[in-house]
Structure 1
Amino acid sequence: MKVVIAIDSFKGSLSSAELGEAIEQGVKKVYPEVEIVKVPIADGGEGTVSSLVEGTAGKLIKVIVNNPLMEKIEATYGIMGDETAVIEMAEASGLPLLSLERRNPMKATTYGTGELIKDAILKGCREFIIGIGGSATNDAGLGMLQALGFKFLDENRKELGYGGEILSKVKYIDSSMKMSQLNECKFLVACDVDNPFYGSKGAAEIYSRQKGATEEMVKELDKGLKDLSEVIKKELGIDISNLSGSGAAGGLGGGLVAFLKGELAPGIDMILEKVGLEKELSNADFVITGEGRLDHQTAMGKAPVGVSKIAKKFNIPVIALAGGLTDEASQTHEKGIDSFFSIINYPITLEEAMKKETAHKFVKGNAEEIFRLIKVCEKKYSK
């Protein structure tokens, strides 16, 4: 028997790799000789770097960069076994880096994300996977580009500063000092939203309030993105105004496409291809997937459904484990998950359930019980 474990992390509790170890221990109590293949996964959000680094025998890199308000912090990115750099923009430019009262998308910049990219380029990387969830910014990636050598000039050709407040002021783009290595780089952007650059469903209108924007700021930022898109169209010949996903991460999606020829794609599809999950599933008997909570968002295409979509190509049974389940979790059956289970065995507080030792015990125990049932069925129907 071959079992493939491809499970997303239980955020704040166990990583994808730790879950894989717990599940393996449980399964092997029932089938000691089983072949277990563990494929750490994520969907482009939190945990993407660690999953791809662990899954490809890569390495983690720590570097000092600027946070959204241009203060020095330590951030981490990964270099996979094939020298692809994996960067979560939230590491340097994310909302959790700023307390509630300090959030201000007029000032916040993606400069630190650009510094992570620059560091990876100087280390020899030419292929990148960029996860763009959880941003504190609404600067269309201009800060990131400034860190890479681009300059943005006002009507008097004076160099501008940072943050969303410069969007409407940009009249000219100076790329003469950009890193020459960028011409050799390929950027795959893990993007799971379809918001356009600006407008009623754009970056500012949908997301900037949670980043600290007042209603007046929302209008100013939306106008800024519209104005910038016109400059980009004039200067670069690229129209990103209605591009699906260009409004992701405060317009960072659009900036990556326009300036770095980035390719926007669903995070989970991109990552599963990179870790070679399909190859491992081709001769498997079961696949175990899951995430912290199975709900309607899972059914819309998060990591477990991405796994099940590939598994169904080979008609492999898919079992999901989760810390919590909602009524809408049943929608995942239509997406290829054959059965799902909560790991919680008895009434317990969320704080206690999320402790590593508790979660490990529950996951291991439930994996064992599931495969005990499989063994009973195997004996009964093999007669």
Structure 2
Amino acid sequence: MRVLLCPDKFAGTLSAPEVAAAVAEGWRTVTDGDDLLIRPLADGGPGFVEVLAEALGGRRVPVSTVDPLGRPAAGEILLTADATAYLESAQACGLHLLSAAERDPKTTTSYGLGLLVAAAVESGARTVVIGLGGSGTNDAGAGMLAALGVTPLDPGGAALPYGGAALAAVDALDGAPRLRGVRLVAATDVDNPLLGLHGASNVFGPQKGADRGDVLLLDAALERFAAVLERDLAGCPTGLGTLPGGGAAGGIGAALLALGGTCESGIGLVTRATRLDAALDTADLVVTGEGSFDHQSLRGKVVAGVAGAARDRGVPCVVVAGQVSTGRREAASAGVTDAYSLVEHFGGEESGGLDAALSRPADGLRELGARLARQWSR
């Protein structure tokens, strides 16, 4: 039997390669006669560079940057032979870089991502691909733009403080982007627009620490900033606040679109880089997964991309996840044959399953791998 293992990371616990390795190890305790093909994936969020480096080769270059609160952070860019640089916003803007008490999208900044983009530009890259996802910011990329030479100003001509809330007072822009003509590509894990009920502030703000009042303030601030970008930034498309993907990573997608960039599905890009289609064509079973399999999983995430591709080929696709909250009918319509939860495997939340899933995810995945082999292997 040919089994394709192509999970995303389990955020905060295991990388995508570690998830795949644990499931494979468990499977092989039951049978070693099956052909296990491992293809770790990413959708633009944390792990994007690691997965692409494994698939494409190239040179990983460390870059000093800052986190959402301006503290020193370690980042990197992947440089490939075709003059393309790959980087991920989560290394500078990631929610995982903040403690629970530090999460405040009114003040966090994407400035560190601008430093990574600048490093990629200075490396001589002609195309810069930015993986978007897992961010702790909601500033519509204003910090990133400032690091690239475009500073938002208040009515008095002073530079605005960092963070999304300050954009409520934005009046003009100063400077021009220092991009040397590079092509920008936003690899997004969602298709949400910048503004409105489905926008960055309303949908993703609460998980970054925003209450209802903060959400309303931030959405209004980003609406004002989008209008200023359309007016003052050469080449910015009209209707910036409504463009698909603009809401990715707290609105960084919109800033990249304003700079003339394009949005592309992160999972689609990784699928091509890892030659996943060829592997799917010969698979008898597909195993994918992520930390939380929920309603957002079916909007541009790894699981949705993999399950849809498996469904189109008539191949069963099972999901392993830390938690599963997607309904069976909704999952089935996306191409998911079955879903397995670590929390339930460890006895459910009331029996300490959540704590066990967070503290022993590799153990649980090995056990689930063995269970899958018993249920699915010929």
- State if a TM-score over 0.5 links the two structures: yes
**2:374 alignment partner, one of 319, 344, 369:** 369
- Secondary structure of the corresponding residue to residue 74 of structure 1: strand
Q: For 1:63 and 1:159, how far apart are their aligned partners in 2?
A: 26
Are the counterparts in 1 of residues 152 and 174 from structure 2 also a CA contact under 8 Å? Answer: yes
Per the TM alignment, residue 49 of structure 1 is displaced from its structure 2 partner at its CA by 3.0
- Secondary structure of the corresponding residue to residue 36 of structure 2: strand
Moved more, 337-346 or 90-99: 337-346
Alignment of 1:30-45 (within 5 A): 32=32, 34-45=34-45
**2:224 alignment partner, one of 227, 234, 242:** 227
The alignment status of 1:88 with 2:88, answered yes or no, reads yes
Q: For 2:167 and 2:60, how far apart are their aligned partners in 1?
A: 34
Moved more, 165-174 or 230-239: 165-174
TM-score, normalised to structure 2, is 0.81
TM-score, normalised to structure 1, is 0.80
Per the TM alignment, residue 113 of structure 1 is displaced from its structure 2 partner at its CA by 0.7
- Pair 82,35 (structure 1): closer, same or farther in 2 beyond 3 Å: farther
| CA-to-aligned-CA distance 1:77-136 (integer Å, 9 cap, x gap) | 545686643433232123343345544444332110111112223333333332333333
Per the TM alignment, residue 326 of structure 1 is displaced from its structure 2 partner at its CA by 4.3
Match of 1:48 in 2: 48
Match of 1:252 in 2: 252
- Secondary structure of the corresponding residue to residue 173 of structure 1: strand
Q: For 1:132 and 1:212, how far apart are their aligned partners in 2?
A: 19
Match of 1:196 in 2: 194
Q: For 1:210 and 1:107, how far apart are their aligned partners in 2?
A: 15
Per the TM alignment, residue 323 of structure 1 is displaced from its structure 2 partner at its CA by 4.1
Total equivalences in the alignment: 369
Per the TM alignment, residue 194 of structure 1 is displaced from its structure 2 partner at its CA by 1.6
The alignment status of 1:114 with 2:90, answered yes or no, reads no
Match of 1:352 in 2: 356
Please, which runs of 5 or more residues in structure 1 have no aligned partner? 376-383
- Secondary structure of the corresponding residue to residue 273 of structure 1: helix
| CA-to-aligned-CA distance 1:280-307 (integer Å, 9 cap, x gap) | 2223333222233444444455322311
Are the counterparts in 2 of residues 289 and 307 from structure 1 also a CA contact under 8 Å? Answer: yes
Match of 1:185 in 2: 183
- Pair 17,79 (structure 1): closer, same or farther in 2 beyond 3 Å: farther
Are the counterparts in 1 of residues 3 and 36 from structure 2 also a CA contact under 8 Å? Answer: yes
Are the counterparts in 1 of residues 132 and 186 from structure 2 also a CA contact under 8 Å? Answer: no
Alignment of 1:306-325 (within 5 A): 306-325=305-324
**2:225 partner amino acid:** L
- Pair 214,350 (structure 1): closer, same or farther in 2 beyond 3 Å: closer
- Secondary structure of the corresponding residue to residue 22 of structure 1: helix
**Greater Rg by CA:** 1
Q: For 2:89 and 2:131, how far apart are their aligned partners in 1?
A: 6
The alignment status of 1:4 with 2:8, answered yes or no, reads no
Q: For 1:49 and 1:37, how far apart are their aligned partners in 2?
A: 20
Are the counterparts in 1 of residues 61 and 76 from structure 2 also a CA contact under 8 Å? Answer: yes
Percent identity reads 32
Moved more, 108-117 or 47-56: 47-56
- Pair 307,200 (structure 1): closer, same or farther in 2 beyond 3 Å: closer
Are the counterparts in 1 of residues 95 and 136 from structure 2 also a CA contact under 8 Å? Answer: yes
Match of 1:126 in 2: 126
Q: For 2:24 and 2:101, how far apart are their aligned partners in 1?
A: 44
- Pair 82,310 (structure 1): closer, same or farther in 2 beyond 3 Å: farther
